[in-house]
Each structure stands twice: as structure tokens, then as C-alpha cells.
Amino acid sequence: MSAEPPAQFQLTIDVRSYEVDVNGHVNHAVYHQYAEHARMEHFRAAGLSQARLSGHGATIVLLATTANFRSELLAGEQLTVDSELAFGEGRAFTMRHRIVRTVDVDGNPAGDVLAADVDCTLGVMDVVTRKLLHGPRDRLAAAATDVALLDPR
């Protein structure tokens, strides 16, 4: 299964040996960690560090996450994790990640095989009231240094 073109943001990760379970492939929980790493790097690239968000009285919280596993990953492979934000009405927004194998264990191109999709529902929470804020896109844009990384292509 070939993956789609890259989304708004992507990063490269090497699969480390300690991420592999007794079946010889990446443990299911690690896929969520890959998505979390991409999510935090995406926000950081947009200028939304935790310190900056706190200075605006807000933080980003994860409300739900679902992983759909498509193809196993092995120690020594290289992958890209991309992310795409979507904002709607209300207090929640979504970020979708695709985890794609790009290099196999022998260092050969892997043909961009989709290994998993991870879908996340997030919110922007007021750090004082501990309540979700309406208009998360506007709240994030007010604090961001690169607003283009918040907008879908």
C-alpha cells in the first residue's frame, strides 16, 4: 500500500531496537509515541512551544487517539511521520498522522509503505480554569510564529 503525498509537516525517525516487542516488530504503543513526537514537533515548528502557549494562558491537550495499523515496522527501518491539522466549529480540533516506512532494514528505499494512521482529537485548555477554550485555531494562531503550519493545504 503506497502512502499519499506529505501533509503540512513531516519528520524522519529511525526505528530503535528497544521499540520492538516479542513478535519482532514495533510495539503498538510506540506508534502513539511516534505520533506524539510528530505532533509536538509540528506545534514547535509553528512557534507553539509549551512556554509560549503558557504565556498565552493556554496549553494543548489530547482528548482521544486512535491508531490503525497497516504494515509492521522493524528495528533498523526508517520512517516518516507527517501531520495534518483540521479545525471546525467548537472546542475540539483534529490532527492526523501517517507513519510511512521509507527505508528498510538493509538501508534500501522501501517504496513509502503506509504503516499506520493515527487520528487525534485535541483541544486548547485554559491553564487557570482548566476548561477547553472555544475557537482553538484562533487561540493557537494568536500565539504561533508560523501560522501557515496551522492551516490545511
Please give the backbone phi and psi of residue 13, each rounded to the nearest 5 degrees, phi first: -135, 140
Q: For residue 7, what pLDDT band results from cuts at 50, 70 and 90?
A: low
Residue keyed to cell 507513519: 99
Q: Give the pLDDT score at 1.
A: 43
- Domain assignments of the chain as residue spans, ordered by start: 9-145
3-class DSSP state of 144: coil
Whole-prediction pTM: 0.91
Q: Give the pLDDT score at 91.
A: 97
Domain spanning 9-145: CATH superfamily = Hotdog Thioesterase (3.10.129.10)
Measured between alpha carbons, how far is residue 45 from residues 1, 72, 90 in Å?
Answer: 29, 29, 25
Q: What would the pLDDT profile of 86-131 be if each residue is shown by its tens digit?
A: 999 999 999 999 999 999 999 999 999 999 999 999 999 999 999 9
Whether the per-residue pLDDT at 4 is higher than 90: the answer is: no
Helices (H) and strands (E) in the chain, counts: 3, 5
